[in-house]
Chains A and B, each alone.
Chain A
Amino acid sequence: MNLTLKVWRQKNAKSEGKLVTYQVSDISPDMSFLEMFDVLNEQLISKGEDPIAFDHDCREGICGMCSMFINGRAHGPLTGVTTCQLHMRSFKDGDTIVVEPWRAKAFPVIKDLVVDRSAFDRIIAKGGFISVNTGSARDANNIPIPKQNADEAFEAAACIGCGACVATCKNSSAMLFVSAKISQLALLPQGQPERYQRVLNMVEQMDKEGFGNCSNTGACEVECPKGISLENIARMNRDFLKASLIQKPKKETGGGAM
């Protein structure tokens, strides 16, 4: 296959970027999209040009590192897969493919197609956990959990934190990501003690990071490589509403669980 690529090039966070056109030839349909980029980069290096920086690591669709916005869609034309699991057989010979980084105020570009997603880590640090120190756990089977809840919690926990939801949302909203973690913990008995304070804290941090609001377009759910459901956002909305109504103001000092 021969393809024309239009790739976003940006030297660093401070400089302006632009789309640059490249031609690649003899691409095998069995190649993954990232392997096609490997080929292009090898060409660029041998020509003495700067290779294109892009995030990737496991290349088996689970680490959540790869993050390309391909022809107007997060992780490309297929649903339910990450960029690394997209193969060239999804394209036709002669296609022009536009590749851009995730775009959101909360995800500043570091270089080319690489963005900074540390906002997600900061949100988790505000409450995406159960406060249990190592060594203080009781026997695992002492906490029976209905299979349905366990399965639902697992489905929410399948989030890989890639940021496709933010990238695809017209508002750059992170609610699918945030609600997936809130849901996972809200569905489990272990998560109950901190349930309402958690949702308040995480939403507060989410807003601080500069993500947009949710307009319930459902785009995130469609593009999510792990199929995280909008139901999680509804659960977060519910919990936050309840938390706003019942939760007493946080004490600034004292040995709270947080």
Chain B
Amino acid sequence: MSKLDSKIPEGPLEQKWTKYRSTVPLVNPANKRNLEIIVVGSGLAGSSAAATLAEMGYKVKVFCFQDSPRRAHSIAAQGGINAAKNYQNDGDSVYRLFYDTIKGGDYRSREANVYRLAEVSGNIIDQCVAQGVPLAREYGGLLSNRSFGGTQVQRTFYAAGQTGQQLLLGAYSALQRQVGLGNVQMFARHEMLELVTIDGKARGIIARNLVTGELERHFGHAVLLCSGGYGNVFFLSTNAMGSNVTAAWKAHKKGAFFGNPCFTQIHPTCIPVSGEHQSKLTLMSESLRNDGRIWVPKKKEDAEAIRAGKKKASDIPEEDRDYYLERRYPAFGNLVPRDVASRAAKERCDAGYGVNATGQAVFLDFMYNMKEKYGRAEATKRGISNPTDAQLKELGKEVIKEKYGNLFDMYKQITGVDPYEEPMQIYPAVHYTMGGLWVDYNLMTTIPGLYALGEANFSDHGANRLGASALMQGLADGYFVIPYTIGAYLSTEVSRMSAEKEKPDAIDKIKTKHPAFDEAEKAVKDRIEKLLSINGTKPVDYFHKRLGKVMWDKCGMARNAEGLKWAIEEIRKIREEFWKDVRVPGTNEEFNPELEKAGRVADFLELGELMCIDALHRNESCGGHFREEYQTEDGEALRDDENYAYVAAWEYKGDGQYELHKEELKFEAIKIAQRSYK
């Protein structure tokens, strides 16, 4: 019998959340003031949850490792945020957003959660606009929308190429307002290094003050992990340098199950790797696929000539170009979902048609739309009857500049190539992790009192996330879900407190003297001491890079049983070597970024193994998880709904030991079908 209870409310799909909201137990205002909530992470999920819970009257403590909550990596999201507003009158609805998301996730997400997400999506836009988030507008003063991959309606709200930044700053300002009012205590430059559980419930955390190295004990009646995804396990990813799995991993080792760890999203349009020195990859927004056409040469000799630097993209005549997405997926063309686009790029490059020096890149070409779509429209607008090619290009360039100027500049800055003249070169890169801590409908993990929100949980995106859905999920969880669902647990805490006559005002000092805190703090201290005492020969990055390469090669865009088995062995070896030979300079009692990094990489070295174990056990291809053994004749993912329509939730059972628990996915509102974008 499964230990997993997803706690999905009874009733028809459309009424589950409404009914839940009106029946969930409430906590009265006087009691809220005595309840403390710890929030780890200050991105969209963390900031919005912390601000909202503080507004409701709870006492909140927020932790982030950056120097300010405003720097969380949600800030880097470029393209947009989906919402079923149907402002464009193109037939959008809550159901359609729900359907697109389930289908986009390749039928590996939980219906009830996704429906709730689609339901609250509109409220998010309302809330953000009320906060002063400057979303793009039309001349009439109303909100503007754009298209994104995997959908056929325009439901993506945006703020130029900086949507994540604007939404995060909105949530950050709401958070700072509560800081100013004294309802939130902010702990920047702090990192959670252990979860404290008492009687099986989450009761607090041990955090390291990154400036002084001091270990601090913090008590909470509930702990919310909003610590983001773990894409950095691949070393090279579009994640921020500091993004890590540590908080979630510590919770996992204390009993929180880890859901679908192998589901990672590889984003198709990133700037290709240019050399050994590279520390991170930069995304080029998916919105570019609205106007950019993706191609490689039809002839291998052309590809080889380009790789050798003998030919340029512009030397290849139109008839010798293979617009492979348009060829393979005529209905969605260049706007197929991310997993499909990424895999198609890899397929062409593996077949020998890749275009940069490493052969690991394809072209994203704006020239056609620049001239024919925008140039011609501008020429008509300006009454130029027979525009020359150069005129068309010049006119179209202005439009492209207005739409994507900042992205084009960024591309030129990084590569030194002008994308207005030569097509961009792009290649897929790790971008997002759909997997994460397993949570129930309340967003609670398998540890009572411990919640996971945003990218840190596994819940809404199944095996593949659609563009512009991550921002939606982070804010939905923080603004609109957790404020209700946390009441279900905290109301029982209130009864417990009164039964145990726990003094509400006796905070921190007494509560954090519990032996569980002693134990947790000692574990953290021992581990830090161990890291500092190895004094080996190799820096942390050496191990991180090695791990990343194994993960990318064997557990990246395509996986197979043999490779995964090898990877598991290899990661164990790297981990062993790490604990014998890593060199962490300095001491604990100072600002020591290398020590921080060492702790994070140590956790990645464990997580990487679990990802491979998960990928190995899932004998099917779905979404971002592509097992080479399971594909159709024309190379599409072959799902196995009979045997694998479940969430794999892994329980930690000691070093390298994990037990699988399955949460069966039931599709009641949607007929499960072959996912096709042709």
- Range class of the A interface residue count: 35 or more
Q: Which residue of B lies closest to A134 (CB)?
A: B52
Q: How many residues of B contact A (CB 8 A)?
A: 84
Q: Known contacts A38-B541, A56-B241: does B173 contact A137 (CB below 8 Å)?
A: no
Q: How far is the CA of A44 from the CA of B48 in the complex (A)?
A: 41
Interface residues of B in 125-159 (CB under 8 A from A): 125-143, 159
**Residues in A neighbouring B48, C-beta threshold 8 A:** 134
- A143 touching B277, Cβ below 8 Å: no
- Tell me which of B343-351, B496-504, B548-556, B582-590 binds A: B582-590
**Residues in A neighbouring B585, C-beta threshold 8 A:** 44-45, 48-51
- B591 touching A114, Cβ below 8 Å: yes
- A110 touching B211, Cβ below 8 Å: yes
Interface residues of B in 278-322 (CB under 8 A from A): 278-280, 282-283
A129 within 8 A of B: yes
Q: Known contacts A63-B66, A65-B71, A144-B141: does B172 contact A124 (CB below 8 Å)?
A: yes
**Residues in A neighbouring B479, C-beta threshold 8 A:** 134
B332 within 8 A of A: no
**Residues in A neighbouring B131, C-beta threshold 8 A:** 129-130, 132, 190
- A60 touching B410, Cβ below 8 Å: yes
Most buried by A among B48, B51, B142: B142
**Residues in A neighbouring B179, C-beta threshold 8 A:** 121, 125
Q: Which residue of B lies closest to A78 (CB)?
A: B413
Q: Which residue of B lies closest to A153 (CB)?
A: B134
A35 within 8 A of B: yes
* Chain A: minimal CB distance from B183 (Å): 11
Q: Known contacts A57-B240, A65-B71: does B143 contact A141 (CB below 8 Å)?
A: yes
- B240 touching A89, Cβ below 8 Å: no
Q: How far is the CA of A164 from the CA of B548 in the complex (A)?
A: 34
**Residues in B neighbouring A57, C-beta threshold 8 A:** 66, 71, 73, 240-242
- A31 touching B277, Cβ below 8 Å: yes
A188 within 8 A of B: yes
Q: How far is the CA of A60 from the CA of B81 in the complex (A)?
A: 20
* Chain B: minimal CB distance from A24 (Å): 12
Q: How far is the CA of A51 from the CA of B596 in the complex (A)?
A: 13
**Residues in A neighbouring B180, C-beta threshold 8 A:** 125-127, 258
Contact with A along B259-293 (1 / 0, CB 8 A): 00000000000000011011110110000000000
Q: Is the interface of A mostly helix, strand, loop or mixed?
A: loop
**Residues in B neighbouring A120, C-beta threshold 8 A:** 68
- B139 touching A147, Cβ below 8 Å: yes
Interface residues of A in 39-65 (CB under 8 A from B): 39, 41-42, 44-46, 48-51, 53, 55-65
Contact with B along A69-90 (1 / 0, CB 8 A): 0000000000011000101010
- Tell me which of B160-168, B197-205, B664-672 binds A: B160-168
Among A38, A62, A158, the residue within 8 A (CB) of B279 is A38
Interface residues of B in 580-618 (CB under 8 A from A): 583, 585-586, 590-594
* Chain A: minimal CB distance from B141 (Å): 3
- B176 touching A125, Cβ below 8 Å: yes
* Chain A: minimal CB distance from B420 (Å): 17
A204 within 8 A of B: no
Most buried by A among B52, B67, B85, B126: B67
Q: Known contacts A53-B593, A81-B413: does B75 contact A137 (CB below 8 Å)?
A: no
- B55 touching A140, Cβ below 8 Å: no
Q: How far is the CA of A134 from the CA of B127 in the complex (A)?
A: 7
**Residues in B neighbouring A185, C-beta threshold 8 A:** 132
Among B75, B132, B160, the residue within 8 A (CB) of A184 is B132
Most buried by A among B132, B135, B586: B132
Among A28, A65, A134, A191, the residue within 8 A (CB) of B277 is A28
Among B66, B132, B283, the residue within 8 A (CB) of A190 is B132
Q: How far is the CA of A120 from the CA of B179 in the complex (A)?
A: 13
**Residues in A neighbouring B253, C-beta threshold 8 A:** none
**Residues in B neighbouring A129, C-beta threshold 8 A:** 131-132, 173-174, 176-177
Contact with A along B435-446 (1 / 0, CB 8 A): 000000000000
* Chain A: minimal CB distance from B8 (Å): 23
**Residues in B neighbouring A140, C-beta threshold 8 A:** 85, 125-126, 128-130, 135, 143
* Chain B: minimal CB distance from A49 (Å): 7
- A30 touching B134, Cβ below 8 Å: no
- B67 touching A60, Cβ below 8 Å: no
**Residues in A neighbouring B66, C-beta threshold 8 A:** 57, 63, 65
Q: How far is the CA of A34 from the CA of B238 in the complex (A)?
A: 16
Among B162, B274, B586, the residue within 8 A (CB) of A158 is B162
Interface residues of B in 638-660 (CB under 8 A from A): none
**Residues in B neighbouring A46, C-beta threshold 8 A:** 537, 539, 583
Among A44, A110, A150, A157, the residue within 8 A (CB) of B136 is A150
New A-B contacts (8) at CB < 8 Å, excluding given A31-B277, A120-B68, A131-B177 = A30-B274, A59-B279, A81-B413, A87-B414, A121-B70, A124-B176, A134-B51, A137-B123
Q: Closest 7 A-B residue pairs measured CB to CB?
A: A144-B141, A125-B180, A137-B130, A129-B173, A154-B134, A137-B126, A140-B129
22 residue pairs A–B, Cβ–Cβ below 8 Å: A30-B274, A31-B277, A35-B279, A45-B583, A59-B279, A60-B283, A63-B71, A117-B68, A121-B179, A125-B176, A127-B180, A129-B131, A129-B132, A138-B126, A144-B140, A144-B141, A150-B137, A151-B134, A157-B159, A157-B166, A158-B162, A184-B132
Point out residues on B near A: beta carbons under 8 Å. Answer: 48, 51-52, 55, 66-73, 75-76, 85, 87, 123, 125-143, 159-160, 162, 165-166, 169, 172-174, 176-177, 179-180, 186, 188, 211, 238, 240-242, 274-275, 277-280, 282-283, 409-410, 413-416, 479-480, 483, 537, 539, 541, 583, 585-586, 590-594
